[in-house]
Amino acid sequence: MAKRLFVKGNEAVAMAALEAGCRYYFGYPITPQSDIPEYLSRELPKLGGEFIQAESEIASINMLLGASAAGVRAMTSSSSPGISLKQEGISYMAGSELPGVIVNISRSGPGLGGIDASQADYFQSVKGGGHGGYHIIVLAPASIQEMYDLTMLAFDLADIYRMPAMVLADSVVGQMKEALVANRRPEVDLPAKDWAVRGIGDCEQRVVKSLYLGDGELEAHNWRLHAKYQQLKQKETRWEGFETGDARLLVTAFGSTARIVKTAIMMAREAGLKVGLLRPITLFPFPEKALSDATRLCKKVLDIELNTGQMVEDVRLAVARDAEVYFYGRPPGAGSLPTPEELFEQIKKYY
Amino acid sequence: MRIEDFLVPFALNLVPDFKARRYMQQVFKRPVSLKDVQTHFCPGCHHGTIHRLVAEAMDTLGVQRRTIGVASVGCSVFLYGYFDIDVVEAPHGRAAAVATGVKRAKPDSFVFTYQGDGDLAAIGTAEIIHAANRGEDITVVFVNNTTYGMTGGQMAPTTLVGQKTSTSPYGRNQSKDGAPIRMAELLAQLEGVAFSARVAVNSPKNLMDAKKQIRKAFQYQVEGKGFSFIEALSSCPTNWGLNPLKANARVGSEMCDYFKLGVIKNTENL
């Protein structure tokens, strides 16, 4: 029987990074994720790793760029406003095809906002928050176990596809404590990093860059990146179906909202309502096909988010043409986290 | 085939006396660390000369094969096209942070950045100050030509008071724009900086001194003696609206008046 630990979400992310072989972390304090740099400042030196509390989130994403270019597994973490600062660096990493893990423990916005849980960074994360038209892998944990397992997955996917990967959580999952089984790092076939800079030695020069000025070069590069994202859609989509088999109303939700939705669904089932939950785990690649399949029979979808309506747009694009999509949102801020009863009322309203 | 490839052997073959032939040797050639390509720099630009001095230092200290360069944004963006070394391209201003990541991940490599005055002294001030303050084991080559070259000659943090640029058409106004920043002195105040010097390449004397100081800066990293910084004054004939000779003269007169040449800090007395 595997040992169960009682761990805070943020620390589960940090533990998983170390288990995944990450020995380089660059970050900056911001509520509600400072536990991550604090944990790693303590543990990385014990493993001979490098921890830097950088001068800003901009500096830390660029340190990540450099370390990743040199071929090592490295990570940075922040929360919404700090993630805004990192967008240019992330665009450069995507354009230079660099792996690396960026953790966003979302807080309320826009601007300084607040520190309460939010899902209003969905657009920023999934639609390419920086310039130039790229995507990053986006994973949305809804439990401490997923904070751990999905962080390890983020490192593997980033290395396999040579692109940045984001763990998109929020202050609820970041700050709560739950049971965790600290799984060993999965055995995965990883490609060799034959593109990483190392000093030419007796070999050819390697350049990590995103500048392409030659005639036709950048267009070709962009199509190549696009093809990579199509591959991701084919192979790496992940989602959870909860009580979806006979559902007449399908709820879509991700992250901590999905936890509250599950309780509401259990209440609904007890009242005889056939309701299910389709919870995307990869927000990019989005589980389009799973939603399209589920709405062949179930024609009503209720999307619930901690924002004024973001993932709902992707839900609308994915469902069968004759499915109806409704939305219920609680934009973030103190006091705005919905109760299961409140969501049960919404389920009844649209059933 | 280049002229030097056949001139020396040709000359050797002309010398009938065996003893005399022995005394002929090639004393000047392209540094090994520089690729055999034509650069894109404007006529009279000092980047070419500074690139060469950097490459010579690399050759002398034998670090080419383990060097990772960090290119910045500006006229020097094509660093990877000119140096035969591995290179990482950094976003504008961030080279010192990128270099920090590279050197921490690969401490046995030789890591340097090459940045212009907009890149390092405007958008990159936080990154250079903190990399210097942490005493990162890297070398920073800062090329100061008092203007934003690549983008067409806008005002830079090092533009001189009264200097007209495309965004200071009436001349830099100290009360509104501040005075030019002297980065070599600013950074020297930080404990983490082991070596800081300002050089120029506008005259043979200055060039020979620049060669020496650049080699010293590199030596600091090779010997593990801490963060080293070289500020190299440069001309920009195109954006100054001066021909190469007049631009070269401006470096030696106006620029050297404000940006004093010399070694500002040399903690290990190398």
CATH number at residue B118: 3.40.50.970
pLDDT of residue A2: 78
Of residues A50, A66, A89, nearest to B88 (C-beta): A66
- Verify that B3 and B127 share a domain, yes or no: no
Residue of A nearest to B81 (CA): A207
Domain with CATH 3.40.50.970 in chain A: 4-198+223-235
8 Å CB contact of A26 and B101: yes
Best interface-test mutation with B: which of A58, A62, A85, A92 has the largest number of B CBs within 10 A? A62
3-state class (DSSP) for residue B89: strand
The reply to whether residue A199 touches residue B106, judged by beta carbons under 8 angstroms, is yes
Residues B23 and B79 both lie in one domain = no
Is B177 found in the same domain as B68?
Answer: yes
Mutate one of B76, B84, B102, B150 to test the A interface: name it (highest A CB count within 10 A): B102
pLDDT tens digit sequence for A48-77: 999 999 999 999 999 999 999 999 999 999
CA A34 to chain centre: 18
Residue-wise pLDDT tens digits, B136-161: 999 999 999 999 999 999 999 999 99
* One-character DSSP codes across B43-67: TT-SHHHHHHHHHHHHHHHT-GGGE
Alpha carbon A118 to its chain centroid, in Å, reads 13
Tell me the three state secondary structure of residue A249: strand
Flag whether residue B66 sits within 8 Å of chain A, measured between CB atoms: yes
Q: In angstroms, rounded to a whole number, what is the distance separating the alpha carbons of residues A28 and A304?
A: 31
Counting residues of chain A whose pLDDT is more than 70, the rounded percentage is 100
* Residue A321 confidence (pLDDT) above 70: yes
Residues in A touching B102 (Cβ below 8 Å):
66-67, 69-70, 197
Contact residues for B230 (Cβ-Cβ < 8 A; gap 6+): B139, B140, B141, B142, B197, B198, B199, B213, B214, B217
| B4 & B98 share domain | no
3-state secondary structure of A28: coil
Domain membership of residue B130 as a residue range: 37-266
Alpha-carbon span B184 to A97, nearest angstrom: 35
pLDDT surpasses 70 at B16: no
Report CA B17 to chain centroid distance, whole Å: 44
Domain shared by B192 and B65, yes or no:
yes
With an 8 Å Cβ cutoff, is A66 touching chain B? yes
Question: Would the pTM of this model clear 0.80, i.e. be above it?
Answer: yes
Interface residue B71 vs chain A (CB under 8 A): yes
Q: Quote the pLDDT of residue A333.
A: 84
Which of A24, A96, A199 lies nearest to residue B65, judging by beta carbons? A199
Would you say the C-alpha torsion B31, B33, B37, B42 has a positive or negative sign? negative
Tell me: do B1 and B120 sit in the same domain: no
pLDDT, residue B23, reads 75
What's the mean pLDDT in B91-105? Answer: 98
Q: Is A147 helix (H, G, I), strand (E, B) or coil?
A: helix
Q: Which pLDDT band, with edges at 50, 70 and 90, does A329 fall under? A: very high
- Tell me, yes or no, whether B65 and B81 share the same domain: yes
Is A209 within 8 Å of B87 when comparing Cβ atoms?
Answer: yes
**Tens-digit pLDDT profile for residues A183-211:** 999 999 999 999 999 999 999 999 999 99
Do residues B23 and B45 share a domain? Answer: no
Counted domains in chain B? 2
**Taking all residues of chain A, what is their mean pLDDT, rounded to a whole number?**
97
What pLDDT does residue B179 have? 98
- Quick one: pLDDT at residue B26? 86
CATH number among 3.50.50.60, 3.40.50.2000, 3.30.420.40, 3.40.50.970, domain A4-198+223-235? 3.40.50.970
Contact B94 A209 (CB under 8 A): no
**In whole numbers, what is the pLDDT of chain B averaged over residues?**
95
pLDDT tier, B2 (very low <50, low <70, confident <90, very high otherwise): confident
Residue A122 binned pLDDT confidence (cut-offs 50, 70, 90): very high
How far A98 CA sits from the closest chain B CA (Å)?
Answer: 11
From the list A35, A34, A94, A32, the residue with the least C-alpha distance to A61 is A94
B-chain residues near A26 (CB < 8 A) = 101
Of residues A59, A64, A211, nearest to B127 (C-beta): A59
Report helix angle B204-222 to B47-61, nearest 10: 40
Residue A296 has pLDDT above 80, yes or no: yes
Residues B111 and B182 in one domain: yes
Task: Tell me which residue in B67, B91, B102 faces A92 most closely, judged by beta carbons.
Answer: B91
Mean pLDDT to the nearest integer, B10-33: 76
What average pLDDT does the segment A322-335 reach?
94
Checking if the pLDDT of B202 tops 70, the result is yes
Are B250 and B122 members of one domain? yes
pLDDT surpassing 80 at residue B247: yes
Please work out, in degrees rounded to the nearest 5, the angle formed at the alpha carbon of residue B143 by the alpha carbons of B139 and B147. 150
Model pLDDT, residue B160? 98
> Nearest-CA distance from B162 to chain A in Å?
33
Nearest to A200 among B65, B70, B90 (CB): B65
Residue limits of CATH 3.40.50.920 in chain A: 239-350
**A22/B contact by beta carbon, under 8 A:** no
Show which of residues 96-135 on chain A sit within 8 Å of chain B, judged by CB atoms: 96
Has residue B7 got a pLDDT over 80? no
Judged by CB atoms closer than 8 Å, whether chains meet at B98 and A62 is answered as: yes
Report the sign of the C-alpha dihedral through residues A243, A314, A225, A223, in that order. Answer: positive
Q: What fold is seen in the domain A239-350?
A: Rossmann fold (3.40.50)
